[in-house]
Amino acid sequence: MRLIEMTRSEAIKAAPESLLIIPLGATEQHGPHLPVGTDTLLVETIAERALLALRDSFPAVLAPTLPVGSSAHHVPFGGTLSLTSPSFYRVLMDIGRSAASVGFRRMFYLNGHGGNHELAQVAARDLGLELPIAVGAGSWWAMAYDALIEAGSPAIRNIPGHAGGFETAAMMAIAGHLVREQRPVRQGQPAESPPFRSDYRTEIHDSWQAIDGFTDNPADATAELGARFLSVAVAKVAADLGIFYSKSQAAI
């Protein structure tokens, strides 16, 4: 069920027993070859496919995807819309509070953009402390990270990276017509541990400009590899949502 297709009475009736999935995207530069809506398109696809896989398991409602996130690090390239970190946090809090006022007691922020990762988790924590509801937050590529590494190829080890081999492959699988044919080539860049897997977080001024706004090698991507990534991610996200719903059922 899509929230935007429901009437107010249908939403009120469904809310108490349903899990509300709120996809979080972004509108930001993705190198010279991917559309600025890459994160939004990918997270919406993952959310839709995961809920289809769960349609006989428990009631769920898919909220509209939030298409703007915390993307200040990409603003200098152009083509980017961004909220400041405090503004994005407040938006998530307001969305959660309003959803709770409708009657939703379980909600999950499914994130698709690295800049939103920590902020979504903090908002989930604070909403769960403030209101008698169960709130979860996770980035789809972080939830499925181990499975994605196992399903990948030796050439693509930066997951999620940014506009590199991983995201380019995923976009080729869902919307290949939006991937520009002249993909940049960057050889020899070693795989890096993503921030959510590191012992500490770093941010270095102008580091994105130094790599022209994309990581690793987009030329390594194929649609077949992207389809494999998406299949693995959907399965893991669906499994995690099922676990979250079961735990929330017992708690609320």
Q: Between 201 and 205, name the one with better pLDDT.
A: 205
Region of residue 28 (phi > 0: left; psi between -120 and 50: alpha; otherwise: beta): beta
User: How much of the chain, in percent, has pLDDT values that exceed 90?
Assistant: 84
Question: Are the beta carbons of 80 and 71 closer than 8 angstroms?
Answer: yes
pLDDT category, 156, cuts 50, 70, 90? confident
27-69 confidence digits (pLDDT tens): 999 999 999 999 999 999 999 999 999 999 999 999 999 999 9
Give the pLDDT score at 179: 97
Question: Are the beta carbons of 34 and 179 closer than 8 angstroms?
Answer: yes
Q: Distance (Å, rounded) from C-alpha 96 to C-alpha 79?
A: 28
Q: What is the mean predicted confidence (pLDDT) over 146-175?
A: 92
Angle made by CA atoms 36, 113, 51, in degrees to the nearest 5: 105
Region of residue 133 (phi > 0: left; psi between -120 and 50: alpha; otherwise: beta): beta
Give the pLDDT score at 151: 87
Region of residue 161 (phi > 0: left; psi between -120 and 50: alpha; otherwise: beta): left
Going 164 to 169 to 171 to 172, the CA torsion angle's sign is positive
Domain residue spans of the chain:
15-184+208-247
pLDDT above 90 for 71: yes
Angle made by CA atoms 141, 144, 147, in degrees to the nearest 5: 125
pLDDT above 90 for 155: no
pLDDT above 80 for 72: yes
Q: Distance (Å, rounded) from C-alpha 239 to C-alpha 54?
A: 9
Q: What is the mean pLDDT of the chain?
A: 94
Tokens of 84: 């400041």
pLDDT above 90 for 189: no
Mapping DSSP to helix (H, G, I), strand (E, B) and coil, where does residue 30 land?
strand
pLDDT above 90 for 252: no
Q: Where are the beta strands (DSSP E) in 37-194?
A: 60-62, 106-111, 134-139
80-110 confidence digits (pLDDT tens): 999 999 999 999 999 999 999 999 999 999 9
Residues 6 or more apart whose CB falls under 8 angstroms from that of 131 comprise: 96, 97, 100
Please tell me the least confidently modeled range out of 124-128, 211-215, 223-227: 211-215
User: How much of the chain, in percent, has pLDDT values that exceed 70?
Assistant: 98
Going 227 to 229 to 230 to 232, the CA torsion angle's sign is positive
194-203 confidence digits (pLDDT tens): 878 887 888 8
Give the fold, CATH level 3, of 15-184+208-247.
Answer: Rossmann fold (3.40.50)
Q: Which residue has the tokens 């509070």?
A: 97
pLDDT category, 9, cuts 50, 70, 90? very high
